[in-house]
Structure 1
Amino acid sequence: MSGPRESTSFGALRGQLQEAAATFAGGPDALEGILLGMVDDVDRAVREPLEIFPVCHHSPASALAMARRLREKQPKVVYLELCEDMAPLLTELRNCRLPVAVQAFAGDVDGFPADWAPLSVVAPVTEASAEYQAIAYALDTPGVELVLVDRSSDHVFQWDRRGEHAQEAATPPEEAEAALHGEAVGVEIGDLRPRFAELEEHLLRHGKVRHWSEWWHQYVEVPLGDSDHDTYRQVMFLIGSLFRRLAPGEGSRVRVDEDRERYMWTRMREHLTATGADPEDCLYVCGAFHAASRVEEFGVHGASDTFTISPRTATTWQYGLIPSSHAAIEAQFGLAAGSVSIAATEWAKTLKRTRVKPFRLEGQAGTKKSGKKTALPAVAVAPQSTVAADKLTGFLRRPPVLDGLDEAELLGWSVDIVRAARRNGYLASTADAIAVFETSILLAGMRDRAKPTPYDFQDAAVTCIEKDSVPGRRDVRRLVEIMMGGDRIGQVGYDSLPPLARDVYDRLAPLELKLEQRGVRRALLDMASRPELQACSDVLWMLRRLLPQGAARPIMGERGLGERSIQESWDLALGTHQRALIELGYEGVSLEQVLEQRLRRDAYGAQATTATVLAAVEDATLYLRSRRLSDELGTHALKVLATERSVDGAPEVLRRVRALLAYYRTSEPVLPSWIESFVKTGYAHYCTLLPTAFRDEDATVGQVAAMLGFLFSMESLALSLGCDRTQLELAVAQSHPDEPSKTALLWAAQVQLGTLSRAELRARCAELLDNPLVVPAYPRYLSGFVHALEPVPGLADVVVEAVSNAFGRLPDTVLLPWLPLLITTLRSGASDLAPLLIREAGRIFPGRLAALDIWVPPWRMPQTDPFAAARPKPAPGVHRGATLLTKHPATCDAVAELLGCDGVWAGAAAGPNPSGGAVLTARHPATADALESLLAGG
C-alpha cells in the first residue's frame, strides 16, 4: 500500500506515536495499528506524483489555501471531485449571484424504480469554498483545463439501490422552509465529519463545544488559517485518515465511498493517457476523506484493470442552476444553523487580514468586467519532492496560538445585537450590551480560549438578552445569525435560466415589475384599458396552477368556465420561488407544453379516477382553451368511468359534469360528442351501481345522493340520447337500505319518480316521530332528507316541515339530547346544502316575531280546490263529464278507440248502444271530472 517507512521523513512521528500507544494501551494493540496507519496514509498521499489537494466542505481555510496554491503552482489541469456530467453548467456560474447549486434533474426515469421519480442531484457552490476557487481559476485562466472526475448523476442513484438517498436527503420539518434544494440528493464535495458517533461525541465533550461546526472552527479553521501549504495538506490528510479508519467498516456507504475513489482515479488516468499531460502540472481537488484512500486504484500508478465503470441507464437527465442559500446548505448537509454564514464572514475577514486575492469568475456579481483574460504571472515553484518534510510533528506538538482579544470587534457585536433585539421587541438596554460583552469573555475563558468565537458570543447573547421569553418571531440565536451575515440566498441570472423561465419573464414584461428579485410584488391588471395585459393574465393563471402556493396568488379576480375578469390583482413571488420555475423548464420549453404534459400525466396515471380526468378536462378548457385536448381527455374519462366499481368520486363527478355541461351549452352551438356519451354511459353506470351503493356500508349518504343527483339532473339529456327511464325505476325499486339516512334518501327518490306521494312521505315522517324507538335515530333521517336536496331540490319544504315538526312535537327531554347530534350531522355531511334549507325556511316562516303567535304552518292549513267556485255545476242526474263529451265527441271517441271501447255515439245520454266515449266516462268518472277541471281552470 505504501513505500518503505525508512524512505520517508515521518519516522520520528511514527516512533512517538508507537511509544504513546504502548504507554496508553499497555502494549501493542489496535491503537498502535490505527495511529501508525494514519501516518502511512499521510505519507502515501504526500508522495503521490499527482498533487492531491484535500479540502473541507465550505471551509474558509481550505478556500484560502486553495487560492494561495493556485497562484503559486498555476496547474494546467485541475481535476475536481464533482459529477462529471455537470461540467457544461459551470460556465453559467458567472451569470449568477452565489450561493447557487448545480442541478441534474430527471422527471421520467428509465432503469430506476418508478417511485423514485423525480430524481434530483445538487452541488451547492459558495464563494467561501475551495471548489469555487478552483472553478474560477480554471475557467478564467487561458490554457487551463477543468476536468470533473466524480461519478455521474446517473451513477449516484445506480449505487443507491436500497433508497438510502431518501434517508440522507430527508429534511427535518423545522428546516423544511430553509431547504431550497427540496428532496434532492446533495453531492458532498469535501464532506469531512466523523462517521463514528462515539468519536464525535468525545471530540465535542473534550473540546467544550456544542456541535461539530463549532469544533471545526475552533480546532481546525483557526490553526490552519495562517499555515503553509505542506502543513495544511498533511493536517487535512491526517484528519481524513482518522475519520476514515474510525468509520464503520461495513455497509453500503463504505462501498460507495470506495467506488467513488476508484471511479475518480480511473477517470484521471484515462485523461492523462489521452492528453499526455504531466502529473506535475495537474492538481486533484477532493475531500480530505477521499484523499486518504486505501483502494488499489489509488494514484497515477495504481491498478488500472480492477474497476469497470458501468454504463449509464436510459434515463434522460437535464441540467441547470437553481438558487441556494446558507440555510439550505446547512439543512442538507447536517451543519449547525448559521455555520455557513459565519464561515462567509470569516472568509471576508481573512481576505482582508491576509491580503490574499481570491479568484472570481468574470461577470460574477460584484466583479469588474475586463476586456480580455490575462495569464497569471509566472512563479518559480520547486518541484515536489518524493520525500516530504514532516510538518505534522511540529504542528501537533505546538501549543495552541491564543489570539488576543479584539475588544473593538466584540464591542461592536454587543452593540449590534442589542440594537437588533430592541427592533424585534426585546427590552434590551446598554446594560445588556455590557453583560453580553463580559459574558462572552467569561465563556471563552471557561472553554480554554482567549478570544471569544461567534459561537461564544451567541451563547452569551441568548443568556443575557432572551431570558425566558421571545416577544417576536425571531429568537436571539437567529438574530445573531442574521447579524453575522444572515441567510444569504443566491440568484440565477437571466442568461442562465432555461428557455421556459426566460419566456415567462418576457411574457410578464408588460407588468413592469422586477420579478427576478426576491419578495412579493403586487401586480394590477386592468384589461379593459390595456387589452395586452390579457396575455399576462393567462400566464399568471397557468403559473398559479403549476408553481407552489404563494408564487402567484390572486387577490382580486377569478377564472372559471365561461368567466373572465376585466380587472385582476396579484401577489407575485417568482424570485422567491425561482427554483420551482427553473425546474418547470426541465419539463418543457413553454408553460402550455408543461401544463399539457401534466394534465395528460394526471389523466392517464395508474391512480386516475373519473373525477381526476374531468378535472384535467376542465383545466385544459380553462387555461389552454384547447378543444382538441379536452375532447381527448373527455373520451378517456368514459373509459375510466366504465372501469370504476365504487362511488367514492360521485360528488366530484357530478359537480364537474354539471359545470362542463353549463359551459358547453352557453358557449358551443352543439354539445361535444364525448360529453353526450359520458352522460349516456354515466346514466347506465350509476343505475347499475345504485342498489349496491344503498346497501354498502362504506358508501356514504353524500355519495349516494350525488349518484341520484347525476341520474335526475341528467335524465332529460340521457333520455333524449336513447336511455330508458325504466332502468332507473328498477334500480330504485331494487334498493333496500338499512341505514336511516339512506332510507330517507330512498324515499326522496321515490317521490321524484312518482311512486311515493308527498302526502305519504309526510305520513312516514309523522310515524317516525310517533315511534319512541325511532326518535333517537331521527337526526340521521333528517340528514338523509337534507342530502336529498341535491337530487330533489323541490323537497325543501318537506324537509323544513320535518324539522319543524320535530321541534314542535318532541319534549325537551327527548329533543335536547339529540340536538347536538343533529347539528354535527348536518354540519359534517350537508354543510353545502344547508343554505338551500335556510332559504326555504326563511320563505315559510314569518319575518317578524310578533307574527309568530298567530302564524299557522302551511302544512297544517286545510287544502281547498282553488277552482271550485268558478267551475259550473252539472245538471241534476247528469255527470259533469257528460258536458265535456257533448262539446268534444270526436276527441272522446278517439281516446275510447285507443283504449278499446267500441260503440256508436248516442248523445249525452247513454242509450241502448252507447258510444265509446260514453262508456269511458261511465267507467272512469273521476278522470273525466279532473280533465274538465283542468280545462275549466285554464
Structure 2
Amino acid sequence: MSGSRESTSFASLRGQLQDAAAAFAGGPDALEGILLGMVDDVDRAVREPLEIFPVCHHSPASALAMARRLREKQPKVVYLELCEDMAPLLTELRNCRLPVAVQAFAGDVDGFPADWAPLSVVAPVTEASAEYQAIAYALDTPGVELVLVDRSADHVFQWDRRGEQAQEGAEPPQEDEAALHGEAVGVEIGDLRPRFAELEEHLLRHGKVRHWSEWWHQYVEVPLGDSDHDTYRQVMFLIGSLFRRLAPGEGSRLRVDEDRERYMWTRMREHLAASGTDPEDCLYVCGAFHAASRVEEFGVRGSSDTFTISPRTATTWQYGLIPSSHAAIEAQFGLAAGSVSIAATEWAKGLKRTRVKPYVLEGQAGKRKSAAKKAAVVPAPPPEAAADKLSGFLRRPPVLDGLDEAELLGWSVDIVRAARRNGYLASTADAIAVFETSILLAGMRDRAKPTPYDFQDAAVTCIEKDSVPGRRDVRRLVEIMMGGDRIGQVGYDSLPPLARDVYDRLAPLELRLEQRGVRRALLDMASRPELRACSDVLWMLRRLLPQGAARPIMGERRLGERSIQESWDLALGTHQRALIELGYEGVSLEQVLEQRLRRDAYGPRATTATVLAAVEDTLLYLGSRRLADELGTHALKVLAAERSVDGAPEVLRRVRALLAYYRTSEPVLPAWIESFVKTGYAHYCTLLPTAFRDEDATVGQVAAMLGFLFSMESLALSLGCDRNQLELAVAQSHPEDPSKTALLWAAQVQLGTLSRAELRARCDELLDNPLVVPSYPRYLSGFVHALEPVPGLADVVVEAVSNAFGRLPDTVLLPWLPLLITTLRSGAADLAPLMVREAGRVFPGRLAELDAWTPPWRVPETDPFAVRPVTAVPRGAALLTAHPAACDAVAGLLGCDDGWARPDAPAPSGVGLLAAHPATCDAVAGLLGCDDGWAAVAGPSSSGGAALTARHPETARALEHLLIST
C-alpha cells in the first residue's frame, strides 16, 4: 500500500467470490474456502506493517514496479530474499556485465554425504529483474542498508530432501543441465509458477498458449506493466495465494518453502530488534509465493520462539561470481527457450513507455554515475486509506493494445534478413507473410496485438519450410533478434586470485582472452623463450578445464619431449565459469593440479593405472620429482592390493613410458619404479593361471600381463626375481577359451617349452579338424594379441592367416571371413599393423611375381651340417697362397704351427690333419655328439685322430674339406 497500515476492507470482493462459488458449485464447498482464503491472504499481507513487495523471477513488470516504488518510498533498509552468506559478493557486481550469477561452491564436504560433492548454489542476476533494482538502489544510495535474509548455502543442502527420497525409493527430480550453471542448485528468487499440474494445463489450454512463459507474458506482464503500486501488490498477492493453496499438500518442497519463510521472518525480526529500525522504513522483497505465507512466524508480530535456526556444518564454502546467460537461466529454472531474452526486450520497451529511470550500479555497463543519483528523489505520498483494487482489476476487461504496425513490420523485415544470412531462401514475400500471419494468429488467440510469441510462431510457419542439418532454426533466429542469448562476464577485479594469475601469466600472448570466442595463439619458443612459461600454463589449463577451453593445434607434450613451436585455440572467456571455479580450489594452477592428482591417486576407486597416470601427469605438467616418487610409492600399495587384471593393458603402457623416460633422463632408475617392476613381476605371475581360466578376463588383459612379464623380465631378474616362477605360472595355466589357448602357446614358444615347428603343426591340426574350423578366428585373435608379449611371432601369425585363406574352401571361407574381420577389429585393432608389416615383408611386391612365389614357410629347411659340394680344391689352395698373412692368422687360431708345405707336396689327409690337431678334433667331436673318447675307439696305443677318423670317415673328410677349401 502507499504507506497506510490501516485495516483494509475486502468485504465487497468476498461477497462477489462467495456468490460466484455458490453459483459455480451449487452450494458452499471447498471452492468457496479456497476463494475466500485467497482474499484473507491478500488482506493479511497488505496489513503487514513491514511492507512486502512481491516479485516474479526476471519479470519486467516487477522490475518497473520496483524502480517506481523505491523512488517513492526511499526505504532505509531493504530485506532481500537471497542467501545471507552471499552478501559480500554483491558489491562486485559493479565490475561485471550482466547477466552473472552469484555462486557458493564447496569442493570438500564435511557434514554431507560424500557423493553429493561438489556442492554449488547459484543465484542469477539480470538487469530486467526487481532484485537487481533493489541491490543497485541499496548499494548506491547513502544510508541504505541491504540485508539478505534467506537461508545460507549450507542450509540449502541441510534441507535437501534427496536423502529421504533415496530411502523411500523415489526418483529424484530431473532437471535440465544449464550450460553455464552446470549442476548447481538455483536459488529461485521470486519463483512464481503453479505447482498443480492440472491448473497449469487448464490455464494454458484456455489461454490458447503453448507454455507458461507465454501465459505469464500475456495475462500478467502486459496488464501489470502500467498499473499503480497498490494494484500491482494486490494482484501479485492474489496469484501467489492461488498457487500456494493449490499446491500439493504435504510435499517435501512445501515444507522447505515454509521453513524458508520462517527463516526469513526470524532474521528480519532479529535485525529490527538489533538496529531499532522502524518497520515503516523497511521494504521486504520476496517472491509472491512466499508473500502469501500462512506460517505462525509471518510478520513483525509473528511468533518469535517457534523456530530455531540450525547451525551450519563444517563444510568450507567458497564464494564468487560466474558468467550466466539467458539460456542458462531458462534451462535451470524451467522457463521456455527465449523467454528471458523476450523479457529483456520488454524491459527496454517498458522503460521508454513509462519513462521510469532504473537503478544501475555505479560502474555498471560503463556508466560513470548511476541513474539513481541522477534522478530526482520523489517523496512518498502521505498515508491514506487503503483501497480494494482487486475488484476493479478482476472486473476490468482486457486492455486491447493497438497494433503497432511499425514494430511488427520491423520484426518481419529483420527476421527475413537474418534468415537469408543463415541459408534460408527468404524474400520480401515471406516478410509480408510473417506480418499477416502474426496478426492472424493473434486474432485466433483473442489478442488485438501480436505478442513476440505470436510473431515467433508466424516466422516458423512462413520461413522454415524444411529442416536442413547445420542450419539454425527460425525459432532460434527470432530469439536472437529479440535480444539474443546475452552472456554475462565477470570483471578482472572480481575474479579470484587464481583466475587473475592465469590472465597475468598469459599476458605475453597479447590476446584479449577475457572476451568470448576462440583466440588463436602462436608460440615460437625458439625466438621468444619467455613464452615457455605460457606454454606450461596452457598445458595445465588443458588438463584442468573442460574440453575446448585450451585446445592445442600444433605441438604436443609427452614424457621427455617439448615442442619448440605451438599453436593453440583458446576460449577462456567462453569457459570463464570453469576458470573461476578453479579459484575455489587453490590460489595457483600448480596447487590445484597437485590437489587433483592426489585426489585421483588416493581416491577410494583409484586403480594402479590411475595412480600411474597421476605420476605421468606430475612429470608432464609439474616436473615435481618429489610428488612423482610419492605417488609412485603409492602405486606399489595399490598394485599389491588388486586382485583383478582389468587395468593390465593401461599399466603396461604407462610403465613402459615411465621406464623409457627415466632411462633417458635420469642417471639411475628411481627406487619406486624398480620396486614396482619387481612387485609387478611376482604379482602377475601369481595371477596368471587364474586369469587364463577367468571368463571375465579378456585375452587383451592376459596378453598385457604376459607383455609386462616378458618385457620387464631382464630388469626383474637383475633385481632378484626368479624366472622359475614365470615358468611354473605358465605350466599351471590351462585355458579353455581358444584365443587364450593360442596366447598360451605363444608364451610357451617364448619360454622355449614349445618349438616353432610344433606350433605350426598345431595350427595345421586346427585347420584339418572340421569341428575346430568355425572357432579358428578366435585362435587367430589370440595369436594377434600374442604380438604384444612376443612380437617375434609375427611371421607365424602371417603364416597361420595365409594357410587359412589357402586351404579352406570357399564354402567355408566366405561365411567365416566376416567373423574373422570383426574378431580382429574388435579385439586386436592396435596390434594388426605388426602383422600387416610382416605380411608386406614376406609377400611379393608385384602382382606378376605372385604366381611364381613360394611362401617361405613351404621352403624346405637345409641342414647346417650338410656337406656342400666342392668343384675344385686348387681354387682354395690358390686363395690361401695368395693371402699368406690371412692364412697364417687362421692357422694360428686353429693351432697349426707346421708352417707352409711345398707347393708340389700332396695335401694332407683327414687322418693326418686330425692327428696333428687333437684339441681341435676333441672340440669337433663334442659338437657332433661323439663322446666315446680316444681310447675307447682305438685303444691306448692307438692315435686318437686315427681312431676317430676310422669311426667317422665322412666327418673327417668333411672337416678336411672345410679346412682346406676355406
Q: Work out whether the TM-score is over 0.5.
A: yes
Give the match's secondary structure for 1:744: helix
User: Structure 1 192/875 Cα, relative in aligned 2: closer, same or farther at 3 Å?
Assistant: closer
In 2: Cα distance, 1:782 partner to 1:689 partner: 24
Task: Could you list the structure 1 runs, at least 4 aligned residues long, displaced by more than 6 angstroms after superposition.
Answer: 1-6, 164-177, 370-375, 873-886, 888-906, 913-938
In 2: Cα distance, 1:336 partner to 1:251 partner: 25
Could you list the per-position Cα deviations for residues 856-903 of structure 1 after superposition, in whole angstroms to 9, with x for gaps in the alignment? 111111222457xxxxx99999999999999x9899999999999999
Shift of 1:8: 3.0
- Name which of structure 1's ranges 468-477 and 857-866 shifts more when overlaid on structure 2: 468-477
Give the match's secondary structure for 2:458: helix
Query: 1:47 touches 1:388 (CA, 8 Å); kept in 2?
Result: no
Could you list the per-position Cα deviations for residues 611-658 of structure 1 after superposition, in whole angstroms to 9, with x for gaps in the alignment? 111111111111111111110111111101111111111111111100
Shift of 1:911: 3.9
Query: 1:896 touches 1:916 (CA, 8 Å); kept in 2?
Result: no
- Name which of structure 1's ranges 498-507 and 911-920 shifts more when overlaid on structure 2: 911-920
Query: 1:574 touches 1:581 (CA, 8 Å); kept in 2?
Result: yes
User: Structure 1 797/885 Cα, relative in aligned 2: closer, same or farther at 3 Å?
Assistant: same
User: Structure 1 508/170 Cα, relative in aligned 2: closer, same or farther at 3 Å?
Assistant: farther
Matched, 1:7 2:7: yes
User: Structure 1 556/937 Cα, relative in aligned 2: closer, same or farther at 3 Å?
Assistant: farther
In 2: Cα distance, 1:93 partner to 1:18 partner: 49
Alignment of 1:581-660 (within 5 A): 581-660=579-658
Among 937, 955, 959, the alignment partner of 1:909 is 937
- Name which of structure 1's ranges 687-696 and 434-443 shifts more when overlaid on structure 2: 434-443
Give the match's secondary structure for 1:365: helix
In structure 1, stretches of 5+ residues that fail to align are 868-872
Shift of 1:380: 7.0
Could you list the per-position Cα deviations for residues 177-216 of structure 1 after superposition, in whole angstroms to 9, with x for gaps in the alignment? 8521011100000000111111111111111111111111
User: Structure 1 440/191 Cα, relative in aligned 2: closer, same or farther at 3 Å?
Assistant: same
Shift of 1:162: 2.1
Query: 1:363 touches 1:369 (CA, 8 Å); kept in 2?
Result: yes
Query: 1:903 touches 1:915 (CA, 8 Å); kept in 2?
Result: no
In 1: Cα distance, 2:78 partner to 2:642 partner: 60
Shift of 1:812: 1.3
In 1: Cα distance, 2:876 partner to 2:931 partner: 19
In 1: Cα distance, 2:170 partner to 2:139 partner: 34
Give the match's secondary structure for 2:122: strand
In 2: Cα distance, 1:926 partner to 1:306 partner: 117
Shift of 1:806: 1.4
Larger Rg computed on CA atoms = 2
User: Structure 1 321/625 Cα, relative in aligned 2: closer, same or farther at 3 Å?
Assistant: same
Alignment of 1:135-150 (within 5 A): 135-150=135-150
In 2: Cα distance, 1:146 partner to 1:918 partner: 120
Shift of 1:537: 0.8
In 2: Cα distance, 1:933 partner to 1:111 partner: 93
Give the match's secondary structure for 1:688: helix
- Name which of structure 1's ranges 15-24 and 522-531 shifts more when overlaid on structure 2: 15-24
User: Structure 1 612/861 Cα, relative in aligned 2: closer, same or farther at 3 Å?
Assistant: same
User: Structure 1 33/889 Cα, relative in aligned 2: closer, same or farther at 3 Å?
Assistant: farther
Shift of 1:773: 1.6
- Name which of structure 1's ranges 894-903 and 199-208 shifts more when overlaid on structure 2: 894-903
Shift of 1:851: 1.2
Shift of 1:421: 1.3
Structure 1 counterpart of 2:924 = 895
Shift of 1:43: 0.8
User: Structure 1 124/923 Cα, relative in aligned 2: closer, same or farther at 3 Å?
Assistant: farther
Shift of 1:684: 0.4
Query: 1:555 touches 1:569 (CA, 8 Å); kept in 2?
Result: yes
In 1: Cα distance, 2:952 partner to 2:111 partner: 80
In 1: Cα distance, 2:558 partner to 2:612 partner: 14
User: Structure 1 928/777 Cα, relative in aligned 2: closer, same or farther at 3 Å?
Assistant: farther
Shift of 1:167: 15
Could you list the per-position Cα deviations for residues 706-761 of structure 1 after superposition, in whole angstroms to 9, with x for gaps in the alignment? 11100000000000000000000111111111111111111111111111111111
User: Structure 1 280/357 Cα, relative in aligned 2: closer, same or farther at 3 Å?
Assistant: same
Shift of 1:469: 3.3
User: Structure 1 775/74 Cα, relative in aligned 2: closer, same or farther at 3 Å?
Assistant: same
Query: 1:107 touches 1:119 (CA, 8 Å); kept in 2?
Result: yes
Matched, 1:919 2:947: yes
Shift of 1:412: 0.6
Query: 1:896 touches 1:917 (CA, 8 Å); kept in 2?
Result: no
Shift of 1:110: 0.8
User: Structure 1 162/324 Cα, relative in aligned 2: closer, same or farther at 3 Å?
Assistant: same
Give the match's secondary structure for 2:162: coil
CA RMSD of the aligned region, Å?
Answer: 4.6
In 2: Cα distance, 1:660 partner to 1:922 partner: 63
- Name which of structure 1's ranges 915-924 and 259-268 shifts more when overlaid on structure 2: 915-924
- Name which of structure 1's ranges 441-450 and 746-755 shifts more when overlaid on structure 2: 441-450
Shift of 1:6: 11
User: Structure 1 791/910 Cα, relative in aligned 2: closer, same or farther at 3 Å?
Assistant: farther
Query: 2:360 touches 2:370 (CA, 8 Å); kept in 1?
Result: no
In structure 2, stretches of 5+ residues that fail to align are 882-916
User: Structure 1 382/697 Cα, relative in aligned 2: closer, same or farther at 3 Å?
Assistant: closer
Query: 1:345 touches 1:485 (CA, 8 Å); kept in 2?
Result: yes
Structure 1 counterpart of 2:349 = 349
Shift of 1:429: 1.4
- What is the number of residues matched between the two proteins? 929
User: Structure 1 556/898 Cα, relative in aligned 2: closer, same or farther at 3 Å?
Assistant: closer
In 2: Cα distance, 1:312 partner to 1:919 partner: 105
User: Structure 1 926/536 Cα, relative in aligned 2: closer, same or farther at 3 Å?
Assistant: farther
Shift of 1:473: 2.0
- Name which of structure 1's ranges 914-923 and 619-628 shifts more when overlaid on structure 2: 914-923
Shift of 1:301: 0.7
User: Structure 1 664/33 Cα, relative in aligned 2: closer, same or farther at 3 Å?
Assistant: same
Matched, 1:22 2:22: yes
Query: 2:162 touches 2:172 (CA, 8 Å); kept in 1?
Result: no
Among 528, 532, 541, the alignment partner of 2:539 is 541
Could you list the per-position Cα deviations for residues 522-552 of structure 1 after superposition, in whole angstroms to 9, with x for gaps in the alignment? 1111111111111111111111111111111
In 1: Cα distance, 2:413 partner to 2:962 partner: 95
Query: 1:425 touches 1:472 (CA, 8 Å); kept in 2?
Result: no
In 1: Cα distance, 2:385 partner to 2:687 partner: 86
User: Structure 1 572/475 Cα, relative in aligned 2: closer, same or farther at 3 Å?
Assistant: same
Query: 1:613 touches 1:633 (CA, 8 Å); kept in 2?
Result: yes
In 2: Cα distance, 1:584 partner to 1:925 partner: 88
Query: 2:177 touches 2:332 (CA, 8 Å); kept in 1?
Result: no
Give the match's secondary structure for 1:6: coil
Query: 1:902 touches 1:916 (CA, 8 Å); kept in 2?
Result: no
Taking only the aligned residue pairs, the percentage that are identical comes to 92
In 2: Cα distance, 1:73 partner to 1:268 partner: 19
Query: 1:83 touches 1:149 (CA, 8 Å); kept in 2?
Result: yes
Query: 1:884 touches 1:932 (CA, 8 Å); kept in 2?
Result: no
- Name which of structure 1's ranges 389-398 and 137-146 shifts more when overlaid on structure 2: 389-398
User: Structure 1 880/291 Cα, relative in aligned 2: closer, same or farther at 3 Å?
Assistant: farther
Query: 2:111 touches 2:313 (CA, 8 Å); kept in 1?
Result: yes
Could you list the per-position Cα deviations for residues 26-62 of structure 1 after superposition, in whole angstroms to 9, with x for gaps in the alignment? 2221111111111111111111111111100000010
Could you list the per-position Cα deviations for residues 85-136 of structure 1 after superposition, in whole angstroms to 9, with x for gaps in the alignment? 0001101111000000000001111111111111100000000000000000
Structure 2 counterpart of 1:456 = 454
User: Structure 1 629/97 Cα, relative in aligned 2: closer, same or farther at 3 Å?
Assistant: same
TM-score between both structures, scaled by the size of structure 2: 0.89
User: Structure 1 919/23 Cα, relative in aligned 2: closer, same or farther at 3 Å?
Assistant: farther
Alignment of 1:356-367 (within 5 A): 356-367=356-367
Query: 2:4 touches 2:386 (CA, 8 Å); kept in 1?
Result: no
User: Structure 1 172/845 Cα, relative in aligned 2: closer, same or farther at 3 Å?
Assistant: farther
TM-score between both structures, scaled by the size of structure 1: 0.92
Could you list the per-position Cα deviations for residues 153-174 of structure 1 after superposition, in whole angstroms to 9, with x for gaps in the alignment? 0100101132599999999999
Query: 1:81 touches 1:285 (CA, 8 Å); kept in 2?
Result: yes
Structure 1 counterpart of 2:338 = 338
In 1: Cα distance, 2:87 partner to 2:962 partner: 89
Matched, 1:877 2:888: no
Give the match's secondary structure for 2:101: strand
- Name which of structure 1's ranges 761-770 and 381-390 shifts more when overlaid on structure 2: 381-390
Give the match's secondary structure for 1:373: helix
In 1: Cα distance, 2:964 partner to 2:233 partner: 112
Structure 1 counterpart of 2:848 = 850
In 2: Cα distance, 1:302 partner to 1:84 partner: 21
- Name which of structure 1's ranges 139-148 and 437-446 shifts more when overlaid on structure 2: 437-446
- Name which of structure 1's ranges 382-391 and 448-457 shifts more when overlaid on structure 2: 382-391
